[in-house]
Amino acid sequence: MLQVQGISKVYGNVHALKNVSLDLKPGLFGLLGPNGAGKSTLMKTLATLQLPDEGQVLYDGQDIATDPSVMRDVLGYLPQDFGVYPKMSAVALLEHIAVLKGLHNKKERDEQIRYLLKSVNLWTKRRTAVSTYSGGMRQRFGVAQAMLGDPKVLIVDEPTAGLDPFERQRFLDLLSEAGDDKIIILSTHIVEDIRDLCPDMAIMGDGEVVARGAPEMLIDKIRGKVFRKEVDKTDVADIEKTHQVLSTRRRPSGVIASIYADSAPGDGFEPDDEPVLQDAYFAHLYKFV
């Protein structure tokens, strides 16, 4: 079990984390929030790359700040940005990382590397230098290195950024397959990744956890309170002054304005009886709920 207990982190005048608490068990956990919400700061803290200013993180009851090896020995981590050694091929670099992770049996290393490179569709490029990979290919390589050694805690920060729809689905399937016996934290701003994959999630905004629960539970909280209307783009500013606007979506014929209201607002707005996770995300992020 991974327990985050009231951690805070300040960079100069920026309060990046504000008293964040989470208890996580094996399974897929989604962390959803806009850029700057504090997701990456939280991930770096969990990965023992930095210490919290306040609070503590416990893995199986042990403080990872006091003994970082408690987490590092079981961790797989894919940050948003990562560097690679120049001129090293994918298979050579994974071999090097595997040894650093303690995989000393060559046969087991080779089997894992082959399986992971095939899983992320890089087997045919295994002899190519990773430094020459495209952004999407490098991201897929990052997924493979994070999963080396069968980690018990897997942290992936914006993992589907730069992936085409086919590769995104391949990666999500890989995470889903691995999620039964691992604590997997999927940090993203892509709502669909969470809805498709995670039975439990949290929404972060301005360094805080503003909502926590199953996606369907968060959607149920706003059911009957989401209304939509197609308007002219020139009317959007006036609607934002008079209503709690969740989102606006442009169409060739105009703009679909979605608002949150406790009762029917009239003025041509129609109820949407089947709100989606994006609606719940904005309602909690803007603290309408």
Let me know: does 101 contact 148? Beta carbons within 8 Å. yes
pLDDT tens digits, 231-255 = 999 999 999 999 999 999 999 989 9
90 vs 79: which has the higher pLDDT? 90
pLDDT at 154 > cutoff 80: yes
Predicted pLDDT of residue 119: 87
Query: What is the 3-state secondary structure of 70-98?
Result: HHHCCEEEECCCCCCCCCCEHHHHHHHHH
Mean pLDDT along residues 196-218: 95
Which of the four CATH numbers 2.60.120.10, 3.90.1150.10, 1.10.10.410, 3.40.50.300 does domain 1-74+152-214 have? 3.40.50.300
Report strand pairing: 27-32 vs 183-188.
Answer: parallel
Let me know: does 227 contact 257? Beta carbons within 8 Å. no
Q: Out of 141-150, 161-170, 185-194, 204-213, which region has the weakest mean confidence (pLDDT)? A: 161-170
Report strand pairing: 27-32 vs 200-205.
Answer: parallel
Let me know: does 19 contact 55? Beta carbons within 8 Å. yes
pLDDT tens digits, 83-133 = 778 889 999 999 999 998 888 899 999 999 999 999 888 999 999 999 999
Q: Compute the distance between CA of residue 192 and CA of residue 244 in angstroms, rounded to an integer.
A: 23
Predicted pLDDT of residue 174: 81
